[in-house]
Amino acid sequence: MSKMITGKYDNWSLNLDDNNILWCTFDRKDSSANSLNEPILREFDQILNGIAQGTQAKALIIQSGKASGFIAGADIVQFKNLKSAEEATKLILKGQEVFDKLEHLSIPTIAAISGFWLGGGLELAFACRYRLAVDNEKTRLGLPEVKLGIHPGWGGTIRLPALIGALPAMDLILSGRTVNAKTAKKMGIVDESVPKRVFHKALVQYALKAPQKQGLRFQLNQKLIGLSNHKFIRPLLAKLLFRQLNSKIKRAHYPSPFITVDNWVEFGVTKPEGLINEANSIGKLIVSETAQNLVSVFFMQEALKNLAKSSVTPIKHVHVIGAGVMGGDIAAWAALKGFQVTLQDQLPKFISGAMKRAYDLAKKQLKEKHLITAMMDRLTPDIEGKGIAKADVIIEAISEKLEAKQSLFKMLEAKAKPNAILATNTSTIPLEEIATVLTQPDRLVGIHFFNPVAKMPLVEVIHTAHTHQQVLDKASAFVRKIDKLPLAVKSSPGFLVNRILLPYMMEAVSMLQEGVPGPVIDKAARDFGMPMGPIELADKVGLDICLHALEKLTATLGNNTPVPEELKNLVAQGNLGTKTGKGFYTYDKQGKIIKSPGGKSVAALPTDIIERLTFRMLNEAVACLREGIVSSAEFLDAGCIFGFGFPPFRGGPMTYIKKEGNDKLLKQLEILTSRYGSRFQPDKGWGNVA
């Protein structure tokens, strides 16, 4: 063993133990998480060169030096700076070379997997001879590249199918999902999944003498893995994979998973051809518009997370008033995320309904009995409101009536702890109106969740001109603590998300009234990349809720978005959408559409359906930015992506406008104004976006 190679490097350290096992610890300097970039890989390369030149070490164990156990993957900051596909491919090939070297070391190599091992981190583990993982709730393995519009590039698309077979490998790569140690062991990704207390012992055992894999079952499994990657089988399996992909996404919107399958069909798991192709393919993808936008979306998400400074005063107890659709689910979510929660309602039946839903959520999310019991123990029904005096955060989610909210907040101000957050979940009442009854209006903040609470990542944190900064900070910190993304939004009708979404939905209803079939409108929106069409969405949100929000918005923003008669009629008839089995569409008991609206009187389908839908959104987005509803174009994009699913691959409304060109879009908007009238009148803010 040459003395030169042990010791401390900038980001790695090497120690030889008494058993002659070489422990290589990755601890990226000046960073709380480990991620791989070019200089770090270069250093690792030096280490591998040292070992390859001759060593007394019997084995190499690679581990993370971060307490959190992170190897978060490749450092994606570098993606943004790449100028061309060639430059990207070159960078990837360098990484591949290093992993190749690791794979070909003569001594056994072991990845000691604990905490997150994702993306490039996991690909490093694939290049090791063995992988051992700690079996606890912190360990997660996965290849999330697809979420950034690319695919694994350091051999992951070759080594994983070769290791565990094509279908389970593609499942991980194409979904980007993560798995725990037990599942990883079942899938064959790791050789062992062991409790933390015996992890070190297991690593040493593998280093000194790894158990021989043999037996009929092992041989058979290896045959099946080989067969799944065989050139005659690949096209057959690919058909299945494409069918699955097509049911969820479009190639034109998210090409990378389709390309991953194409590559595998062509090259299988061959080396070096497959590896070279992987590098060329990812090089092209990295610089594509989709990937660049998805990387921006990733950074937006980080920016939203960073908006939430950690709270000065700790938050332990949350009190929710109103156990309806929203309040019940907010309380359950906060309990799931570890808070003590009291849930109040004027009627016990709503609390018991909410408790049942909370139990379902607990079962779905936590699975293990002791965790479910612990969560339910944290959630206490509180019909008398005893929690008010103890709570650090109080969230009001009672019915949407100004007087009721005002009298509630008056009482809360008197009874709550002086530094408790007083928050409303109102979606339409201006906070200023509620605050008029408070002696300290600066205490009121909006914590506006979206429905369904468990699914929607964004929470608007609404402030008036009076809201105290500390109150805002604490509210954002709380939102972050429950794993949601807090977006600071100025109080104004519809706030941000509903203000942009409602005109778009109502434009769809106008087209419906003109005779355009509902499914045609919905399909146009889905083709643009929206997660569902506007008519389907209105039914899902609830037509009563849409109507109420729209009436409020029209009253304050003028008559640019008049309330459609059809919407009023349906609500008057009690047809409120999916929750009553009939809205614009009619549904069967399982929620499947059995009758679609519209399509009787239209002679020919209009050709500007998607323009009408998107321009209502874009125009409103421009107005929101001009009015300072959010502080930047980036936050506006984030609000639309995480608030209502504006297509992430398009980067958000502002990114879309910049890409398409302000002047070109403005001209189109003017044409729409001449065709359909003042609701398309360009906002004054156009021109300032870029």
Q: Please list the active-site residues.
A: 448
Is the Cβ of residue 323 or residue 625 nearer to ligand NAI in the bound state?
323
> Which residues contact ligand NAI (rule: CB under 6 A)?
321-327, 344-347, 350, 397-400, 404, 408, 425-428, 449-451, 541, 545
Is the Cβ of residue 448 or residue 490 nearer to ligand NAI in the bound state?
448
332/123 Cα distance (integer angstroms): 37
Taking the complex as a whole, the smallest distance from the CB of residue 538 to ligand NAI amounts, in Å, to 12
Q: Which of 148, 152, 147, 151 is nearest to 125 (CA)?
A: 152
How many beta carbons lie within 10 A of that of residue 554, not counting itself? 17
Taking the complex as a whole, the smallest distance from the CB of residue 630 to ligand NAI amounts, in Å, to 18
Taking the complex as a whole, the smallest distance from the CB of residue 486 to ligand NAI amounts, in Å, to 15
Tell me how far the alpha carbon of residue 115 is from its chain's centroid. 20
Burial of 103 (0-12, 13-18, 19+ CB in 10 A): middle
Buried b (16+ CB within 10 A) or exposed e, 74-95: bbbeebeebeebeebbebbbeb
Taking the complex as a whole, the smallest distance from the CB of residue 221 to ligand NAI amounts, in Å, to 49
Q: Are strands 444-448 and 458-463 parallel, antiparallel or unpaired?
A: antiparallel
Q: Which of 246, 237, 114, 103 is nearest to 168 (CA)?
A: 237
Q: Which of 310, 302, 354, 309 is nearest to 333 (CA)?
A: 354
Report the residue closest to ligand NAI, judged by CB: 324
Taking the complex as a whole, the smallest distance from the CB of residue 409 to ligand NAI amounts, in Å, to 11
Is the Cβ of residue 362 or residue 394 nearer to ligand NAI in the bound state?
394
Taking the complex as a whole, the smallest distance from the CB of residue 463 to ligand NAI amounts, in Å, to 17
> What is the secondary structure of 277-304 as a DSSP string?
HHHHHHHHHHTSHHHHHHHHHHHHHHHH
Q: In which element (H, E) is residue 639 found? A: helix 633-644
Q: Which of 96, 80, 62, 77 is nearest to 31 (CA)?
A: 77
Is the Cβ of residue 70 or residue 449 nearer to ligand NAI in the bound state?
449
Is the Cβ of residue 456 or residue 557 nearer to ligand NAI in the bound state?
456
619/281 Cα distance (integer angstroms): 37
Taking the complex as a whole, the smallest distance from the CB of residue 565 to ligand NAI amounts, in Å, to 23
Residue the block writes with tokens 């158990």: 211
Is the Cβ of residue 398 or residue 563 nearer to ligand NAI in the bound state?
398
Is the Cβ of residue 301 or residue 406 nearer to ligand NAI in the bound state?
406
Taking the complex as a whole, the smallest distance from the CB of residue 351 to ligand NAI amounts, in Å, to 8
How many beta carbons lie within 10 A of that of residue 389, not counting itself? 11
Please give the single-letter amino acid code of residue 606: P
DSSP letter at 383 equals T
Q: Which of 245, 238, 239 is nearest to 263 (CA)?
A: 238
Phi, psi (rounded to 5 degrees) for 129: -75, -35
